[in-house]
Amino acid sequence: MHNSREKMDLPKTIFLLMFILSMIIVSFYTLRPFMISFLWSGMIVIATWPIFLKIKSFLGGNKNFSSVFLTFFLLIFLIYPFFYIINLCIKNSYFFLEWLSSNHFQLPNLHFLINLPYVGKKLYILYQKILNSSGRSLIQCIKPYLKKTTKFLFLKIGYFTNFLLQIFLMLVFNLFLYCKGEKVANILRHFAIRLASTSGDIAVLLAARAIRAVALGVIVTSLVQGFLSTLGLAVSGIPYYTFLIFPIFFLNLLQIGSFPILLPAIIWLYWMNFPVKGTILLIWSIINCILDNVLRAFLIRFGVDFPALLLLAGMIGGIISFGLIGLFVGPVVLVIAYRLIIIWINKAPFPHNLNKKISKNLFKKHTK
């Protein structure tokens, strides 16, 4: 023991650890711009891997062509909604501007402002000044904030450009992972086994199953809910209902549901004296909400045999903590932790297998 301590070179060990740590930090900062897109790409590839295998089998085992085909389909699925919404805005902006410039457009007088306590009279006078000056006084009021607003808009344009770049990188990573998916999976499993033996391999397999369960239970349910909600809005005669497709889908992804958008539409129908259409949309919304809960729970349980409440808590908590990527990160972490804890607990004997004499002795001590 004494000889081994003498032979150990402590400075060498410290410098070696510092070098390894610095390599990890530098590697992290080098790859950080690609991490979000690579994570999303990994989630999408894992979720769509069974579809990729079916396409590959249908195309005669051509892996490269199957990868390009499925990536192109994902490109259309991701990009088309944005172009569709922009096209709708451009088409409908002409009618909106024409309506604003017509003589039929008149701003309300808002007489009820006078009855508001404390500030009502001042608000009404300010509003009348804006009407009488054709908006010039309003421009003078907002002029100090135009610079900040312009900076904010340019900042958002930068975020949108970064978002498009991330989508492009994600599609490139998709091509790579579809082509080299088996090799990447084997490397990850080998690394996990090296870290934690069988438990590491179990964690990797559980992560893949949890991602597919979330994709099946959340993405598919959101698409179905978006279609059914849009169908209800179209049948009820809600104008410009196509603008609500993306918000409905996004709210379903966030596990909020489509009711916050359907409820104002129902109120508007009753307000405009369309009670029959309002009642039909109300009944349709209730059925839609019930179907949402049933379908999501069924698809999640179909994809993976875990408590649905655990996955739901992981999705909601993950979104709150990590953003939209947490939709997958949260359930994966909770599912792996849950299953590994259950495996660890099951290694101990069950309470009913304990010695009955111990129970009798405990009972005697308490009864004395």
DSSP output for 255-284:
T--SHHHHHHHHHHHHHTT-HHHHHHHHHH
Q: How many residues in total does the chain contain?
A: 368
In a domain? residue 189: yes
Name which residue leads in pLDDT, 118 or 271. 271
Which pLDDT value is given to residue 1? Answer: 47
Rounded average pLDDT over 15-25: 90
Distance CA 162, CA 36 (A): 11
In a domain? residue 362: no
Name which residue leads in pLDDT, 300 or 278. 278
Distance from the Cα of residue 101 to its chain's centroid: 40
Mean pLDDT of the chain: 76
Distance CA 125, CA 137 (A): 12
In a domain? residue 171: no
Q: What is the DSSP string of 148-210?
A: HHHHHHHHHHHHHHHHHHHHHHHHHHHHHHHHSHHHHHHHHHHHHHHHHHHHHHHHHHHHHHH
In a domain? residue 236: yes
In a domain? residue 260: yes
- Residue 64 pLDDT more than 70? yes
Distance CA 150, CA 146 (A): 6
Joined together, the tokens standing for residue 295 give: 């379908």
Name which residue leads in pLDDT, 227 or 156. 227
Domains identified in the chain, total number = 1
In a domain? residue 273: yes
pLDDT in tens, 196-224: 888 788 888 888 887 887 777 777 888 88
Q: Which of 35-49, 138-152, 172-186, 254-268 has the lowest mean pLDDT?
A: 138-152
Rounded average pLDDT over 10-28: 88
Distance CA 210, CA 339 (A): 11
Which pLDDT value is given to residue 124? Answer: 76
- Residue 22 pLDDT more than 90? yes
Which pLDDT value is given to residue 270? Answer: 83
- Residue 243 pLDDT more than 70? yes
Distance CA 121, CA 316 (A): 45
Q: Which of 44-48, 91-95, 318-322 has the lowest mean pLDDT?
A: 91-95
In a domain? residue 69: no
Domain that holds residue 339: 180-347
180 in Cβ contact with 41 (< 8 Å): no
Helix, strand, coil percentages for the chain (3-state, nearest 5): 85, 0, 15
In a domain? residue 79: no
Distance CA 329, CA 210 (A): 9
Q: What's the pTM value of the predicted model, to 2 decimals?
A: 0.67
pLDDT in tens, 126-171: 777 766 665 555 555 665 665 666 666 666 666 777 777 888 888 8
SS3 category, 43: helix
